[in-house]
Structure 1
Amino acid sequence: MKNTLSIHQKISLLAACLFTVIALVIGYLSIGLAPVIIVGGSALTGLICWYFTYLRKPVEPGIILPLFILTVAGLQIHIVEEYLMGFAPAMSRLFGIPWSERSFLMVFALIGPVIYTLTSLGLYYKTPLAGFVAWFIFIGPGIAEFTHFIFPLISPDLLPHDPRPLSADIGGIPIPDMPNFYFRTTGRYYFPGMWTAILPMIPGCLAVYRLLIKNLFRIEKAVGLR
């Protein structure tokens, strides 16, 4: 018998799809294409994983909630390093995008924790939409943080061979003190957030394994036994 979605599940699916599209458009208009590819790719992947798992069968809070809390706790520590080392201005120089420290703090340090708190409550009550947010976090900070290890190898859009901090207007927005972390210029393999990127990755990857891969193994095993 075909497993159809209930009205509540369909509304949650529509809301998640709308959120993904709107976030991609706003992100592209605000900070450009490169970060949107990373964040948008995580959102789309999370949406697909959520659709085939939590949306159809919510996971018990005792399983998903600890993984989510550990992931966002690691993420917040990671964001501290990013802020202290100048992640937003470094990304601005790397990709030529107008990403100010103020907008970085607003999204990741202020609005983000509110969303994480409400998501934790939603996971406790098995709210479908909370599962979508959790999957987005598991895929984004959980897996996509590996990009921090790639950024030092990419030549910046703005004065890649000048090691000095750069202040400039990008898209009419003044971005001061944009550091250069290009490895070939600085001789130092580092990018803001690299040291703590592993913190959200460990529970995030564990969540992907526990909620998706392990279940796929179980399904394959069950099918093989028939």
Structure 2
Amino acid sequence: MKNTLSTHQKISLLTACLFTGVAPVMGYLSIGLAPVIIVGGSALTGLICWYFTYLRKPVEPEIILPLFILTVAGLQIHIVEEYLMGFAPAMSRLFGIPWSERSFLMVFALIGPVIYTLTSLGLYYKIPLAGFVAWFIFIGPGVAEFTHFIFPLISPELLPYDPHTLTADISGTPIPDMPNFYFRTTGHYYFPGLWTAILPMIPGCTAIYRLMIKRQRKIIN
């Protein structure tokens, strides 16, 4: 079995490594520690899984592409709930970070769909880097969405026992109407995105299972 990477694969690996290192740093500088944990953790885990699966041998589009499309479709429905219920300002209050609704919409509602569309095209043509983006999405929305079920149990950084919305400057950025979803304060077990978090999780986790099982079968054979 050939173990060496082609030039194209090496370029894809370098690009993926740069993203894994740079994206969490940029998130930390612009928002705070939360993106480092969520984005950085998903990127690193996705990088490792992608390296041992799709990078060396891209799977056929019919195996990965439908599950990727279903994952991002579920993710977009999930994002609608997050936006309507105030996910970004709720996260700002929860972790004391300056996450505005404008930046939330820019990343997840505008830039995100462009990346998903190009990734779908890349998976169709079995481009290695597209596999990394797919793994990142499978790990993030596919697995990390379970954090929505934990957020209501975490005491917010800002006025945890005040049930009213809060407007404040965080690191020089004005964040208006930050809601409080702390369960001990509200008595309601909810956080923006909780109702639809399962939608991207089902196809995302299914994709992870299928890709890892396929690799395991190749090792056995």
What SS does the aligned partner of 1:167 have?
A: strand
Q: CA deviation at 1:73?
A: 0.1
Residue 30 of structure 1 pairs with residue 30 of structure 2: yes
One-letter code of the match for 2:81? E
Are the aligned partners of 2:53 and 2:215 in contact in 1 as well (CA < 8 Å)?
Answer: no
Structure 1 residue 115: Cα displacement: 0.3
1:161-183 deviations in Å (ceiling 9; x for gaps): 00000000000000000000000
- Supply the distance in 2 between the matched residues of 1:79 and 1:51 (Cα, whole angstroms): 29
- Give the AA of the match of 1:215: K
Length-normalised TM-score, structure 1: 0.95
**Code of the aligned partner of 1:80:** V
Find the aligned partners of 1:47 and 1:21 in 2 and give their Cα distance.
Answer: 11
Alignment match, 2:121: 121
- How far does residue 35 in structure 1 lie from its aligned partner after superposition? 2.8
Q: What is the CA–CA distance in structure 2 between the aligned matches of 1:133 and 1:117, rounded to whole Å?
A: 11
Compared with structure 1, are the counterparts of its residues 217 and 10 closer, same or farther at alpha carbon in structure 2 (3 Å cutoff)? closer
Q: Provide structure 2 residue ranges, at least 5 long, that are not aligned to the other structure.
A: none
Output the CA distance in 2 between the equivalents of 1:53 and 1:116: 20
Q: Does 1:50 align with 2:50?
A: yes
Structure 2 vs 1, CA of residues 202 and 52 (structure 1 numbering), >3 Å: closer, same or farther? same
Does residue 80 of the first structure (1) align with residue 80 of the second (2)?
yes
C-alpha separation between the residues in 1 aligned to 2:53 and 2:143?
Answer: 18
CA RMSD in angstroms, aligned pairs only: 1.1
1:203 is paired with a residue whose SS is helix
- Equivalents in 2 of 1:70, 1:123: separation in Å? 14
Residue identity in the other structure for 2:144 = A
Q: Which residue of 1 aligns with 2:185?
A: 185
The residue aligned with 1:92 is: 92
Amino acid at match of 2:217: R
The amino acid across from 1:16 in the alignment is A
Task: Return the offset for 1:217.
Answer: 4.2
Superposition pairs of residues 142-181 of structure 1, within 5 angstroms:
142-181=142-181
Distance 1:79 1:8 in 2: 34
Aligned partners of 1:34 and 1:142: how far apart in 2?
18
Whether contact under 8 Å (2:24, 2:35) holds in the other structure is no
Q: For residues 145 and 66 of structure 1, do their structure 2 counterparts lie closer, same or farther at Cα, with a shift above 3 Å needed?
A: same
Deviations 1:116-141 (A, max 9, x none): 00000000000010000000000000
1:215 aligns with 2:214: yes
Matched residue, 1:39? 39
Aligned length: 221
CA distance in 1, matches of 2:30, 2:186: 29
CA distance in 2, matches of 1:117, 1:14: 22
Give the letter for the 1:186 counterpart: T
Question: Identical aligned pairs, as a percentage?
Answer: 87
SS at match of 1:193: coil
CA distance in 1, matches of 2:114, 2:27: 19
Answer with 56-65 or 29-38: which moved more. Answer: 29-38
